Structure formats: C-alpha cells, structure tokens
Amino acid sequence: MARKKQKSNKCLNCGAELNPQYEYCPHCGQENDDRQMSFGRLFVDFFSNYFSLDSKFGRSIKPFFFQPGILTREFMEGKRVKYANPIRLYLVISLIHFFLFSLTMENKSSNNEGIVKTTSSENQAKSDSLDVMVDSALTELNIPRPDTVEVNEAEEDTIFFIANSDWKVIKEMTRKDGKRYSLEQIEDSIQIDQKNRIPRYLTSKLIKLMNSEMHSINMYIVSKIPGVMFFLLPFYALLLKLFFSKRLYINHLVHSLHIHSFTFTMLSILWIVELINDPFSDTIALAFPCILIVYIIFSFRNTYRIKYKTAIFKVFLSGFLYNIIVALGLIIGVIISLLLY
C-alpha cells in the first residue's frame, strides 16, 4: 500500500507559501511532500525523469534507435528543446559503456592471468631442465657459458637509454617468479640517480611497468580510453565537415555525438552478453559491424538528405579515414598513459 503524502504549507525547495491542498509547488514545480526520500522513491524518480515518454530523454529513445539521423536533423532545424542534449546523451551512454567495458576487460584479464601463471610454471620447468642439459654439454666441451664471460664496460652497448648491465639487473629483479623488490631497491641497484634527467625518468617508468602486474597495467590503460575517445570526437566531426562543407561544424559535431552514442550502446549490449557468457556472443559480435554500418548509412542519408549511393560511399570513406585516426589516437594515448603510469 502506498504511503500517504505528508503535505506542507511551505515548499521545501524554494520556500514559497503553499496551500496544503497543492500537489506541487506553483513556483518551482517540486512535489508537496514532507516525507524523507526513500531509496526506492529516488530510484523511481530517476527513471521517470529520464525515461518517461514526456521527458527529453524518453522522447529521444525512439528516433535514436529507429530513425537514424533524425535527432541530428531536428537539431540542425532548431528543434533543440524537445530532445535530450547531445552531449548529455553521449556522457550518460559512454559512462555506462566504459563501465561495462572495464568489467569485461577485468574479467578477461583475470581469466588470462590464471592461464599465464599455469603456462609460465610449465615453461619454467622446461627452461630449468634445458639449462641443465646445456650446462652439461658445455662442461664436456670445455666451453664457458655466455653469461659468465666478462664484458668490458668501456665497450658495453646500450639498449635505447639503458646500459646492457642495467637492463640485465632490471630483468632479473622484476622477474615475477622470484623475490619481489621495491622500485627504490631496483633503482638503487642500477644507481639511477647518476643518470641524466630524461633517461632517469624513462628508466624509472620502465622499471615501474616491468615490476607491475599485467592486470593492473591493462586496467590503467582501459581507464584512459574514455578520455581518448572524447578527444577524438571533434576529429570525426572534422571529417564530416570535409565531406559536407556547406554545413556548420557544430552540426557535424552533434552528428558525431549521436553516432558515437549509438556505437557505445551497441557495444554495451555486446559487453553484457560476454559478461553473462551467452553462447550467441560470437554471433552478436559478427552482427555488430553490419548493424553499425547500416545505421550510419541511414543516419547520413537522413541528416544530409543525400542518396543511398552517396551515403554508402561517404560512410565507407569517412569510416576508413576515421579508423586510421582512432588507431593513431589510441597508440598515442597508450604511450602517454604509460609515460604517466
């Protein structure tokens, strides 16, 4: 049974005087209810505000999914109050998408880590037995092992910015199957304070990476992808501007937001399917690019009012160029992320 409202003669939001018979405040629109907000009520209010048919978000659902390009077209024609703000729509969907994406990557990383540990232990056993065989063969032939031969420090090579001797120390002290050393211990062992500023910084970052678990590195990189993708949005809009130069750049930016929002929505469905280990996940993964391409073709046609042949040509060409930009952006993003790790 629903709890009875405890009405007040004063609005709790704006302080306006109210007739106790009022259901809502005539000044600010807040409901006239003096009860404390429960969790269930908070949850219901959220969904009613965002997904009800009379809300901006609710009115955007149908054209967003089933009428590609219409939201962008309405924005270009000045109908901007009726539907959800493109940036807000993108942020809400991307937040959900990257949350599910991180869960999926964490799940995969955890599973792979168990496999790697088992494989590494087997490889270590094989390596140990191989070392015994090599040692016995070299002893019989009276040949010293390569790693026991002394190296003249003056003739010592360097690997990029790290000396061979330092590199050997770093590899040995960061071995995951041996004793774990702290970053300070490893840095002190190679006398990192005596290096120049840039080599010292790069060496320190390399040591930190090699001394970290792959799982933590992967999750760190995953956490930086949303920022990279948000940075790449204007570049896709710039490509659209090159293909449709008569339109203002802001219109292409809104179109870019809508296309990326739909892409992240479809990917979210894919991550959910993978998380629940659905047997149809591979089928859905194969269908995903086809659905996305068809959606973008219709979006181009409805937004710019062009023929299907023209839309198909421009979708594939712009998609090819944008994939190159995304690949370069992700590579640069990963490099920067690792340098700041």
Let me know whether 235 and 330 are in one domain.
yes
Query: Where would I find the H helices in the chain?
Result: 39-51, 56-66, 70-76, 86-140, 164-173, 183-189, 197-210, 214-243, 249-275, 281-304, 308-339
Answer yes or no: is 130 within a domain.
no
- Spatial neighbors of 303 by CB under 8 A, at least 6 apart, are 69, 72, 73, 76, 255
For residue 289, which of 252, 311, 315 has the smallest C-alpha distance? 315
Answer yes or no: is 255 within a domain.
yes
Please indicate whether residue 203 or residue 49 has the higher confidence score (pLDDT). 203
Answer yes or no: is 158 within a domain.
no
Separation between Cα atoms, residue 74 and residue 321, nearest integer Å: 27
Answer yes or no: is 231 within a domain.
yes
pTM: 0.67
Let me know whether 232 and 306 are in one domain.
yes
Query: Could you tell me the pLDDT band of residue 71, with boundaries at 50, 70 and 90?
Result: very high
Residue 298 clears pLDDT 50, i.e. is over it:
yes
Answer yes or no: is 304 within a domain.
yes
Yes or no: say if 312 and 297 are a contact pair by the CB < 8 Å rule: yes
Query: Could you tell me the pLDDT band of residue 126, with boundaries at 50, 70 and 90?
Result: very low
Answer yes or no: is 156 within a domain.
no
* Assigned token pair, 327: 């690949």
Let me know whether 221 and 317 are in one domain.
yes
Answer yes or no: is 242 within a domain.
yes
Residue 104 clears pLDDT 90, i.e. is over it:
no
Q: How many domains does the chain have?
A: 2
Answer yes or no: is 15 within a domain.
yes
Let me know whether 223 and 316 are in one domain.
yes
Q: Max alpha carbon distance in the chain (Å)? A: 104
Let me know whether 262 and 331 are in one domain.
yes
3-state SS, residue 162: strand
Let me know whether 75 and 31 are in one domain.
no
Let me know whether 102 and 27 are in one domain.
no
* β-pair partners for 163: 158
Q: What is the pLDDT of residues 172-222, one digit of tens each?
A: 777 766 677 777 887 887 778 777 788 788 888 877 877 777 767 777 777
Let me know whether 2 and 102 are in one domain.
no
Let me know whether 275 and 321 are in one domain.
yes
Q: Calculate mean pLDDT across residues 286-313.
A: 94
Give the structural domain span for 74: 70-106+215-339
Yes or no: say if 45 and 73 are a contact pair by the CB < 8 Å rule: no
For residue 69, which of 303, 313, 310, 307 has the smallest C-alpha distance? 303
Which helix (H) or strand (E) element contains residue 158?
strand 158-159
What pLDDT is recorded for position 31?
73
